[in-house]
Amino acid sequence: MKKFISMFLVVLMFVSSMSVTSFALDPSPVQPLSNSPKLETHVQEIGGLTFSNVVKYEEVTGYDYYSKPVSGIVYKVTLGVGGSTATCMKSAANKTDFMMWRDGFNTPQLQYNDSNLKTGGVMAEGRNRFLNLNTYGITAYADESNANEQWIGGLVWEFDVVENRVYNGQFNAFYSITAIVDGQTYNYMLILTNRPDYQNGTVAKPAGAVTANPDGTAVKPAETATAHPGSYAVYINDVPVNFEAYSINGSSYFKLKDVAYSLLGTEKQFNVVWDGSYKIDIGDKSYNGVVLLYSKTPYTITGGEMAVGDGISKPAKLTGSPLILDGRLISPTGYNIKGHNFFKLRDLGDVFDFNVSWDSSKRAIIINTSESYDPTT
| This prediction's pTM | 0.59
Distances (CA, A) of 227 to 58, 185, 230, 317: 24, 39, 9, 9
- Whether residue 271 contacts residue 377, with contact meaning beta carbons closer than 8 Å, is answered with no
DSSP label of 105: B
Dihedral sign for Cα 327, 331, 336, 342, please: negative
CA angle 263, 266, 270 (to 5 degrees): 55
Dihedral sign for Cα 21, 22, 28, 33, please: positive
DSSP label of 27: P
What CA–CA distance (Å, rounded) separates 226 from 278? 30
Residue 266 amino acid letter: T
**What is the phi/psi pair of residue 78, to 5°?**
-105, 125
Confidence at residue 89, expressed as pLDDT on a 0 to 100 scale? 92
Across the beta sheet with 234-236, the strand order is 239-241, 234-236, 364-368, 355-359
> Which residues, other chains included, contact 93 with Cβ-Cβ below 8 Å and sequence gap of 6+?
48, 155, 181, 182
Residue 87, strand partner residues: 159
Confidence at residue 298, expressed as pLDDT on a 0 to 100 scale? 96
Domain ranges of the chain: 27-194, 224-368
Where is 220: in which H helix or E strand? none
Confidence at residue 25, expressed as pLDDT on a 0 to 100 scale? 32
Dihedral angle of Cα 364, 365, 369, 370, to the nearest 10 degrees: 60
Residue (of 313, 304, 309, 305) closest to 247 by Cα position: 313
Confidence at residue 219, expressed as pLDDT on a 0 to 100 scale? 60
What CA–CA distance (Å, rounded) separates 162 from 165? 5
Q: What is the block-wise mean pLDDT of the chain (377 residues), using blocks of 10 residues?
A: 42 37 40 82 86 82 78 82 84 76 66 39 35 70 58 71 46 73 86 60 39 52 93 94 94 96 96 89 79 93 93 94 83 92 93 90 93 76
Where is 352: in which H helix or E strand? helix 345-352
Residue 235, strand partner residues: 240, 366
